[in-house]
Amino acid sequence: MFSPIAPAIALRRSAAELRRNSLRCRRGLLTLAIETSCDDTSVAIVEKSNTDSSPKAKIHFLENITADSRAHRGIHPILALESHQESMANLVNKALKSLPATKEGQPSIYLADGSTRRRPDFISATRGPGMRSNLSVGLDTGKALSVAWQIPMVGVHHMQAHLLTPRLVSCLENAAAENGKNDTSTSTSTSSVGSAASPRSHSSQSSFPAAIQSSEDIAIGEALDKSAREIIPAELLSEATNTMYAKTLEKFVFPNGAADFGDYKPPLNRGEEVANMKKQSGYGWSVTVPFANTRALQLSFSSIASMVNKIVKARSESLSHLERVELGRETMRVCFEHLASRTIIALEQLRLSHVGDEEVKTLVVSGGVAANRFLMAVLRSFLDVRGFGGVRIVAPPPYLCTDNAAMIGWAGIEMFEAGWETGLGVRALRKWTLDPEAEDGGVLGPGGWVKRDV
């Protein structure tokens, strides 16, 4: 159960205005969205239209500018903040030209060239979690636009946005199918997403399930980035165009894609997992799978990055290209098998606790690492050999896996449809869980939410 929420600002609206908001939600919504949680400055214009057949979505504009922190071999907080400050206003100004043309009866805004564009129904801006200073750049920009255009704002939970991205993809596909187009830029491995609850269910606390498991230390992507900086030869690392080193590592160890991991075989049972917990390579080192000898729903990735660092330091003078490739593949295998193993345990527990109920049919994988093809191969293999062959895996296309404002706009749309807005007095949140049972109350826990009738 959620505890009652005390809004920071009580918004008074006339009955007529509330009816107009309700009508907008039913026919569709347009939002300008902002994302600045880390080192990507991103702005998007996202529209959802509701029809009798199926909901549809369109991304009118999406652009990212990433801070160049390559000299620091990773995200540099000050450089990221300065990049947000330099890029934000220019990106918003550029995005305005992509707002849809105004139709009769729709509110509009005027551009510098004298033309008019449809005014967004509300602003979506990432409120957290993330770097507080960086978040504040986007959140304050959102507040300013909200005040200038006299429209509401939704402060979006970054991780919730990642989780809802497959529903955005499904609606993009609906729109492409209606238009008779084969739009590969928005296609995924499946034609629909059937695992999520109704978008409007966010209006009740029961729609936010407790988190089953989360990392106790660092994220899997951070572990892979740190490992990649050790494994990839210096000359190749210097050629990287960004600090997404995990992606560079994948290309380095699997240059031919799926053809290079075709001989992968998952452990058939828990016994094999334990036996392979510390599999020794031909070079004498091993990378231990965390918690392999337990069934605890725990995730931990920091030890993997630490082990890689020790291996590279110990063998720096004799580390050949082939050994680096093997170490990279083993690092990914250990990370992904650790994640897959905990996923299987969670699915088994859900099966036991919901005897007679409909089983889980879809596994949604979202976030930056979801773009890794080897991860998908490992997860698929685990599901197939461990009794969950009927579970589909759904992941967004790569351009929507990394941090982007389109997912922020979509999450904002879902929350706005459910009747939630954010007061203008809210501040950025460095930490913010998804779990309603957590101390902070999950998505709806922090103050500042404003509930309106829908």
Q: Residue 137 belongs to a domain with what CATH number?
A: 3.30.420.40
Which residues are bridge partners to 124 per DSSP?
A: 33, 154
Residues 122 and 173 in one domain: yes
> What is the reported pLDDT for 181?
55
Any domain includes 194: no
Any domain includes 382: yes
Bin 387: left if φ > 0, else alpha if -120 < ψ < 50, else beta: left
Q: What angle do CA 383, 435, 402 make, to 5 degrees?
A: 60
Please enumerate in sequence order all residues whose Cβ is within 8 A of that of 390, keeping only pairs 6 or more positions apart, or say none.
359, 361
Any domain includes 213: no
Any domain includes 347: yes
Residues 85 and 27 in one domain: yes
> What is the reported pLDDT for 23?
55
> What is the reported pLDDT for 367?
84
Distances from the Cα of 19 to the Cαs of 32, 132, 406, 412, in angstroms? 22, 36, 27, 20
> What is the reported pLDDT for 215?
82
Any domain includes 407: yes
| Distance (Å, whole) CA 289 – CA 2 | 36
Residues 129 and 270 in one domain: no
Any domain includes 198: no
Q: Is the dihedral of CA 100, 103, 105, 109 positive or negative?
A: positive
| Distance (Å, whole) CA 344 – CA 350 | 10
How far, in whole angstroms, is CA 442 from its chain's centroid? 16
Could you give phi then psi for residue 133, rounded to 5 degrees?
A: -65, -40
Tell me which H or E stretch contains 373. Answer: helix 373-385
Q: Residue 302's domain spans which residues? A: 220-395
Residues 49 and 145 in one domain: yes
Pairing mode, if any, of strands 362-364 and 153-157?
A: unpaired
Residues 285 and 161 in one domain: no
> What is the reported pLDDT for 7?
29
Alpha helices in 2-100 (DSSP H): 15-27, 77-96
Residues 258 and 299 in one domain: yes
| Distance (Å, whole) CA 144 – CA 134 | 16
Question: Tens-of-pLDDT digits for all 454 residues of the chain?
Answer: 333 332 233 333 444 455 555 556 667 899 999 999 998 999 999 999 987 678 999 999 999 998 887 777 777 889 989 999 999 999 999 999 999 999 888 999 999 999 999 999 999 999 999 999 999 999 999 999 999 999 999 999 999 999 899 899 999 999 988 887 544 333 322 222 235 343 333 333 434 445 677 788 888 999 999 999 999 998 888 777 777 889 999 999 999 988 998 789 999 998 998 888 888 899 999 999 998 888 888 899 999 999 999 999 998 778 999 999 999 999 999 999 999 999 999 999 988 887 667 788 889 888 889 989 999 999 999 999 999 999 999 888 888 988 999 999 999 999 999 999 999 999 999 999 888 888 899 999 999 999 987 7
Distances from the Cα of 147 to the Cαs of 98, 118, 142, in angstroms? 21, 17, 9
Are 160 and 197 in contact by the 8 Å Cβ rule? The answer is no
Residues 33 and 53 in one domain: yes
Residues 389 and 409 in one domain: no
Residues 174 and 257 in one domain: no
Residues 377 and 236 in one domain: yes
Residues 227 and 154 in one domain: no
How many domains in the chain?
A: 2
> What is the reported pLDDT for 376?
94
Residues 25 and 59 in one domain: yes
Write out the DSSP string of 398-429: HHHHSS-HHHHHHHHHHHHHTTEEE-TT----
Any domain includes 205: no
Any domain includes 5: no
Identify the domain boundary among 357, 380, 395: 395
| Distance (Å, whole) CA 158 – CA 163 | 9
Q: Is the dihedral of CA 294, 299, 302, 305 positive or negative?
A: positive
Write out the DSSP string of 190-259: SS---SSPPGGGGGSGGGSPPP---BSSS-HHHHHHHHHHHHS-HHHHTT-SSS-HHHHHHHHH-TTGGG
